[in-house]
Structure 1
Amino acid sequence: MFSTPFVLTFSLLLSVPILFLLAPHFLLPPRPLRQVLISPSDELDDLALFDRASGSSLSFSHLSTGSNPKLKIAFLFLTNSDLHFAPLWERFFKGNSNLYNIYVHADPAVNVTRPKGVFKDRFIPAKRTYRASPTLISATRRLLATAILDDPANTFFAVVSQYCIPLHSFRYVYHSLFTSSSFDLSRTESDPDLSRLGVRAKYKSFIEILSKSRSLWKRYMARGRFSLMPEVPFEQFRVGSQFFVLARRHAMVVVKDRTLWRKFRSPCYREDECYPEEHYFPTLLSMSDPNGCTHYTLTRVNWTGTVNGHPYTYRPTEVSSELIYQLRVSNYSESYLFARKFSPDCLRPLMGLADTVIFRD
């Protein structure tokens, strides 16, 4: 029989290599799954742009469409492929050139065809984008900053993708955002943002802000347990759609931010819960001005049968007047204004419905 001291000594010697083998798993943080990092040069370029936008003066630039300083909607197209529905958007914008501006951020790694018409010369200097990475935050901030600098009349900033379509005419969208006192169903008669005439004296941002998502804790932990602390405690972490319509004052909040950006640009440890573009904007605006946001989006998305985080994609055989009417229905506003996701070959049936259904309000 072995003596007790011998057994203890042998056990200790045996445990040393095991500790060396297992220590990295307990003592060191896990290795990030995503290594999509923003280069220092890209970061410096963006900071210079954001600084200019943050201190922008009220002057028009060469990109402004028209000299009449009426309030405008800036449409911000974020894409990594061709603008498949450019003809539909062309018809949407027709006859309203003094009420909107267009800005397109196209991934430079992709050979994107640049449409003519209203999209001519509307592409801004762009950088690489990767799905579910901070690069999508940067691209959106780049669009916002460019639009802020370009035209002081840009009052709303609508972020859309190449798979988005309008659900109404431009006039309906413009009226809903700027003058309708009934469009936002969450408003009350005592809302201080409504003037005595029933028009909006102070514009709200239409951005989805969720605090009770089932995956909220997993998403918060995606970068590591304490990676967002102390700036963003879990109680203030929010998620929501990356497609939104921001009022100008909130667009300024986004381009001026440095604190939260330093947190959300960090790489993730959980790939399945890493969607920075769906975390950063809702959290930032919820922390800075929760009452100035509607907490819902104006872009309809179908999450039935989602695959790898992608929403349902509509096909040509599904496009009909009934589908358009269904997509408009909202519990929060009089109607959704945009919808996604449509496959590129839906263009033909959508164009067939343009004048008789989509743009007939």
Structure 2
Amino acid sequence: MAASSPMVLSLLLLASLTALLVLAPRLSPPQPPTGEQAPAAPGGGGGEEEEEADDLRLFRRAALESSAAGGPPKVAFLFLTNSDLTFAPLWERFFAGNEARLRVYVHADPAARLRLPPTPSFRGRFVAARPTRRADASLIAAARRLLAAALLDDPANAYFALLSQHCVPLHSFPRLYAALFPTPAAAAAATRARSYIEVLKGEPQMASRYAARGGEEGMLPEVPYERFRIGSQFFALARRHAVLVVRERRLWRKFRAPCVPEMAQDSCYPEEHYFPTLLDMADPGGVARYTLTRVNWTGSVAGHPHTYAAPEVSPRLIADLRASNHTHPHMFARKFAPDCLGPLLAIADTVIFKD
């Protein structure tokens, strides 16, 4: 018996190390930025091929370890930013008292200097980030990193809401949660829930946006023109669709390619094409075909939506932004200028969070 003790101890040690390696990704939280600087990406900031390899390793881990957990489902809030999280104080009020049912993740462009210190819900919730550029596939990659980080971090995350630093809530968190999980049975069946993502076809700009991807045949054979879709960059994905996105490779190879140079400025918005096209091709019956985030494109300039300023903030504006022609009202809205924080906080408890 004594002679076998070293062997028993060795087996126990091996089993412990194996368990540690399996659980480590879920136990490691997203890393906070250093000082004012956004977090550095893994791999030492190498070239494009090295960055892609780092992403592939992350996505592979997320896809392999993506089993859903029992217990109450959570909502993962994914903030994609290249500037300060100006509206964090408003989001703190939105999160207050509901911490057990949500998680926060932030992808901050490493080139952006975040001068405002993170508020409690955002502290330590920054994921390893890469540079992002407007109207570029780097925004797709950043959203996929956020999804992968949230999948790995907490198996209870059932919905994944992508937001920007310019987004604000339009309802209370309990109202959002009730919309996503209307009954206990719906919460138990969260893995089969619908995703809220805008999926449009037949739009006037469809042909030019498709051609911008490399000419009339640039997307073939993976994406024929009749399967190409456009939609809002911001969505709320069910867990199974988040797994689908981080697992997908075939369409990504097409959408990550540069646009035709002469069309890049006016028609190249891959972040508005990849997600609706992928989900419409993979699970057309599983998406609601509308987004929960309201955007006002009236009077848009250079591809940017209307930006609300402080004088425009009022109870009437909140009511107008909530209005929807779909099953659910809008739960979030963009795009708000930083000077809107004060007026929004002034009506937060009496209007925004009063359902």
After TM superposition, the score normalised by the length of structure 2 is 0.82
Query: In structure 1, what is the equivalent of residue 92 of structure 2?
Result: 90
The answer to whether 1:228 aligns with 2:222 is no
1:234-280 C-alpha deviation (Å, 9 max, x unpaired): 00000000100000000011000000000000101111100000000
Write out aligned runs for 1:56-205 (5 A). 56=65, 58=67, 69-113=71-115, 114-179=117-182, 202-205=192-195
Determine which structure has more spread, i.e. the larger CA radius of gyration: 1
| SS state at 2:99 partner | coil
The 5 Å alignment of 1:277-292 reads 277-292=271-286
Q: Which residue of 1 aligns with 2:339?
A: 345
* Candidates 248, 252, 257, aligned match of 1:266: 257
Partner of 1:48 in structure 2? 57
Cα separation, 1, equivalents of 2:293 and 2:316: 18
Q: Is the 8 A contact 1:180 1:200 kept in 2?
A: no
Shift of 1:201: 7.9
Which blocks of at least 5 consecutive residues in structure 2 are unaligned?
Answer: 1-46
| 2:235 and 2:292 in contact (8 A); partners too | yes
d(CA) in 2 for partners of 1:57, 1:338: 27
Aligned partners of 1:129, 1:168: CA distance in 2, in Å? 30
Match of residue 295, structure 1, among 283, 289, 293: 289
Look up the match of 1:18. Answer: none
> What SS is found at the alignment partner of 2:105?
strand
Q: Distance in 1 between matches of 2:85 and 2:147?
A: 19
CA distance in 1, matches of 2:323, 2:218: 39
Q: CA deviation at 1:179?
A: 1.3
User: How big is the shift at 1:200?
Assistant: 7.1
**Percent same amino acid among aligned pairs?**
57
The separation in 2 between residues aligned to 1:105 and 1:130, in whole angstroms, is 13
How many residue pairs end up in the alignment?
Answer: 304
Deviation digits for residues 17-65 of structure 1 (CA, Å, limit 9, x no counterpart): xxxxxxxxxxxxxxxxxxxxx81111011000000001016599xxxxx
Q: 1:119 aligns to what SS in structure 2?
A: coil
Q: Deviations over 1:199-230 (max 9, x none)?
A: 97830000000011101010000022211100
Partner Cα separation in structure 1 for residue 88 and residue 191 of structure 2: 33
Aligned partner of 1:314 in structure 2 is 308
For residue 89 of structure 2, give the secondary structure of its aligned residue in structure 1: helix
TM-score, with length taken from structure 1 = 0.81
Secondary structure of the residue aligned to 1:118 is coil
Query: Is the alpha carbon distance of 1:289 and 1:132 closer, same or farther for their aligned partners in structure 2, counting shifts above 3 Å?
Result: same
Consecutive unaligned residues in structure 1, runs of 5 or more: 1-37, 61-67, 182-193
Task: Supply the distance in 2 between the matched residues of 1:180 and 1:329 (Cα, whole angstroms).
Answer: 23
Distance verdict in 2 for CA 1:101–1:252, change over 3 Å = same
C-alpha distance in structure 2 between counterparts of 1:319 and 1:307, whole Å: 21
| Secondary structure in structure 2 of the residue aligned to 1:98 | helix
TM-superposed deviation, 1:70: 2.0
Shift of 1:131: 0.2
C-alpha spacing 1:221/1:317, structure 2 compared with 1 (3 Å):
same
For residues 279-321 of structure 1, give each alpha carbon's deviation from its aligned partner in whole angstroms, at most 9, with x where no partner exists. 0000000000010000100000100000010000001000000
Tell me, yes or no, if structure 1 residue 329 matches structure 2 residue 320.
Answer: no
